[in-house]
Amino acid sequence: MAAASAAVDELSRNFTYWALGAGNGSLSGAWYRRNQIHLLGVLLAILGNLVMSISLNIQKYSHVQLAHQEHPRPYFKSMLWWAGAALMAVGETGNFAAYGFAPITLIAPLGCISVTGSAIISVMFLKENLRASDLLGMTLAFAGTYLLVNFAPNRSQSISARTVQYYFVGWQFLIYVILEILIFCTLLYFHKRKGMKHMVILLTLVALLASLTVISVKAVSGMITFSVTDKMQLTYPIFYIMFIIMIASCVFQVKFLNQATKLYGTTMVVPVNHIFFTTSAIIAGIIFYQEFLGAAFLTVFIYIFGCFLSFLGVLLVTRNREKEHLPQSYIDFGNIPGKQMLDKIQPDSNGLSYGTLPDGSDSTKSQSGEKKEV
């Protein structure tokens, strides 16, 4: 009962904050400042993800334009593609800055906005089909985002170099890193030595690296923010250690993600990677930064339910999206006047040729007989 009443009190405070604004005198000054900082992080993450979804569609549009040219140029010579790449950098910068103002458990799940926003933009500007599953998926994703923003942990902490050092040598993180290294090495052994290239193995490797990425990104971003607002933190060695971890984990993360994309395609990889990445980031935030410390059970339950809704929304939006544009599995010449079509040319999976023609020995013999008569 105490946990339920605490969650209800938190919900009522959040509702008051959103509905009446932060100027209400009944709200404490510390709570108001904390939510202002978190709100800034949420806005940066939302804008960053929207900008990234715009950049992806601009790059997609540039590829479509180049494909329709008689003599297509390389994509890196297209100004439109570079404009999309520049917007991608702006969006990633917004996401990076967001980790300096809000908890990982609040920022990481907002990646669903990039997927749903990309679907909306592709329908509006690239004239792709809007399906019923898209509408349902967007609704679920937005509902999950609302729950995440309202029930994410409100624990505020200044990320200084000393704070990062304290968490870095904590027993919770040391046990977590040892387990993660063991799992990573085991999966890497099966992937490299045994040749297992299953999507789950590749994306689990990406997720394990992503947990280190979000920890280091928040540490670097938080120390930069602390340096700007309070005291210089860039002289501490822990800043450069976290910076190296951030760069290295990002590089290897992209490597495994590209392998998964080449083998299974973006339609399958994007939703599964979003789920794995978000789950790994949330666990990392809970263990390293202890973001759910003191949270009520009902609050945690509603937060997990919000994550489930956003995951389900991403799955519905990306489901079978590329399959709609696949060509037919056969070649149909249609009806040719004066000729009788025996069958469609069907691809032969067992042969070396693309397809097999129907047996036309009788027609060949009749044609040779006509030639002799002439």
Q: Sorting pLDDT into bands at 50, 70 and 90, what band is 134? A: confident
Entry pTM: 0.74
Q: What is the pLDDT of residues 5-47, one digit of tens each?
A: 444 454 444 444 444 444 444 445 555 566 778 888 899 999 9
b/e map of 35-66 (b: 16 or more CB within 10 Å)? Answer: bebbbebbebbbbbbbbbbbbbbbbbbbeeeb
Average pLDDT value for residue range 264-268 = 79
For residue 23, the model assigns a pLDDT of 44
6 three-state secondary structure? helix
List the one residue out of 263, 269, 273, 260 whose CA is nearest residue 321. 269
Q: What is the pLDDT of residues 87-101, one digit of tens each?
A: 888 988 989 999 988
Distance CA 219, CA 208 (A): 17
Contact assessment for residue 220 and residue 290, using Cβ atoms and an 8 Å cutoff: no
Distance CA 99, CA 147 (A): 19
Q: How many residues does the chain have?
A: 374
List the one residue out of 38, 288, 311 whose CA is nearest residue 152. 38
Q: Can you spell out the DSSP letters for 124-144?
A: HHS-----HHHHHHHHHHHHH
Measured in degrees and rounded to the nearest 5, phi and psi for residue 355 equal -150, 175
pLDDT at 148 over 80: yes
